[in-house]
Amino acid sequence: MTSTGTIFEREINAYFLSPIAYVIIAVFMVFSGYFFSIMLGITQETTLRYSLAYTQFILSILTPVITMRLLAEENKTGTVEPLMTAPITDFAVVFGKFLAAWALYNIMIAPTAFYIIFLAWVGSPDYGAIIASYIGLVLMGGLFVSVGMLVSAVTKNQIVAAVTGIVALLILLVIGLASAESEGWLYSTLRYIGTYDHWETFTKGIVDTRDIVYYFSFSALLLFIVVRIVESRRWR
């Protein structure tokens, strides 16, 4: 865990010593604030459910920007080579980077807590649904970061990593959304693979263990693949 902590500290410092963290947080707050105000004005309901529906789309675009440099930059510059020869496990490298990106993701969404304060000021929001929604946001962030890291691990170009990650996350969103009202085993499978149904459950105030298992197992599988990709570089 000491090695993981070292990698985590290195990566989180890299985020905040460059403009990337501040730019991403600012962009997220602009768009999330816009959708919050628009949906509040349209629905006249003291809820985050409708505005958070757009939040998943925003995060699908911004999270790959957070993860694009994690491994792609080191693949390009060659700094991954001395990292691989250091007395540190491949898992510690991958997990440390994952935790740093996930931490930035959670820091990014944290200011939206002010929306809850505003809703409490103007009405009586359903705090159970809000808490469940934020649990869903955090778990979804772990999955999004894992997808972004996998893409970053297989390319040397940060722009390619970002664009490919965005496309992958939007596909996960779209296949779940497009099959939401359809019946049959194929559509059921697509709904389970896609993120829409799992996220929608949390916004209704329901913390279902099936959705928790989905996020944890999917994220763990992707991180396992990333570790194997990193391991393979030791033998090249």
pLDDT tens-digit series, residues 121-141: 887 888 888 899 899 999 999
Q: Identify how many contiguous H helices and E strands the chain contains and give both numbers.
A: 12, 0
Per-residue confidence (pLDDT) for residue 29, from 0 to 100? 92
pTM more than 0.85: yes
Query: How much helix, strand and coil, in percent to the nearest 5, is found in the chain?
Result: 85, 0, 15
Q: What is the pLDDT along the chain (236 residues), one digit of tens a residue?
A: 578 888 899 889 988 988 888 999 999 999 998 988 888 888 777 778 778 878 888 999 999 999 888 887 766 555 555 555 556 788 888 999 999 999 999 999 999 888 888 888 887 888 888 899 899 999 999 999 999 999 988 888 888 889 999 999 998 888 877 666 667 777 677 777 888 778 888 888 888 888 899 999 999 999 999 999 888 766 55
Per-residue confidence (pLDDT) for residue 157, from 0 to 100? 84
Query: Which of 236, 235, 234, 222 has the alpha carbon at shortest distance from 94?
Result: 222
86 DSSP assignment: S
Tokens of 93: 């490298």
Per-residue confidence (pLDDT) for residue 77, from 0 to 100? 57
Cα(105)–Cα(67) distance, rounded to whole angstroms?
10
| Phi–psi pair at 137, nearest 5 degrees | -60, -45
Cα(106)–Cα(152) distance, rounded to whole angstroms?
20
Tokens of 190: 């697509």
